[in-house]
Amino acid sequence: MASRTCEAETRYNPRSMPIRDEDIITIKAAPMTTSEAVYFPSIIKGFGTTMRHFFTSFGQGHTSRTLQYPEQRREHYDPEHGGLEPSNFRGVHRLNRDSAGRVKCVACMMCPTICPANCIHIDAAESPWDDREKYPAKFEIDELRCIFCGMCEEACPVDAIELTPLYDVVGKSRQEMVYDKNKLLHVYDITIDQKPM
């Protein structure tokens, strides 16, 4: 058995099959000219593009390429004109409530398991209610780490987590951008009439 293994190793060993000299192709790059070496034509071309955009952006009025946020908001425009489509837009998260006003999450750990950014953290506890085994004692989403892919929403078996059309999320510190259970439930309260995706 050992002799067969040695035969296989020598037969498939790349070092036992050297490359022949006639199979080697040497490719030499063309030498750069002086103007190419200092990137002068590329600098002139880039500067020309900048100046063209600078002068053509004046006098466009309502056809400007820039949205003047926050005076102009994306939800006031059609998607063809730079607006957003609320039915498939993925903004800030919310935790849904059930008909009794309790958090709908059953702490099944599907969303933190599937999250590619690893930004969802749940601490499960024994549920005080008879209709479920667990509930989230702690539920946090780091909105700065989130890539808003919507996989948590797709994985949730009870539709407890959803992404809303809200996109103007601000915070003065990193800690303010970590949404805990109370903040996520508050987002539900203020977006209850908005249909997420």
Tell me the domain boundaries of the chain: 93-190
Assign 34 to helix, strand or coil: helix
**pLDDT (0 to 100) of residue 1:** 47
Residue 178 burial (10 A CB sphere; 0-12, 13-18, 19+): middle
Fold of 93-190: Alpha-Beta Plaits (3.30.70)
**pLDDT (0 to 100) of residue 111:** 95
**pLDDT (0 to 100) of residue 9:** 47
- pTM recorded for the entire structure: 0.64
**pLDDT (0 to 100) of residue 66:** 72
Per residue of the chain (197 residues), what is the pLDDT tens digit?
Answer: 444 544 444 455 555 567 888 888 888 888 888 877 888 888 899 999 999 888 887 766 555 667 778 888 887 788 887 777 777 888 899 999 999 999 999 999 999 999 999 999 999 999 999 999 999 999 999 999 999 999 999 999 999 999 998 888 889 999 999 999 999 999 999 988 876 54
| Neighbour count for residue 153 (Cβ, 10 Å) | 17
Q: Identify residue 51 by its one-letter amino acid code.
A: M
**pLDDT (0 to 100) of residue 107:** 94
- C-alpha torsion angle, residues 6, 8, 13, 16 (rounded to 10): 80
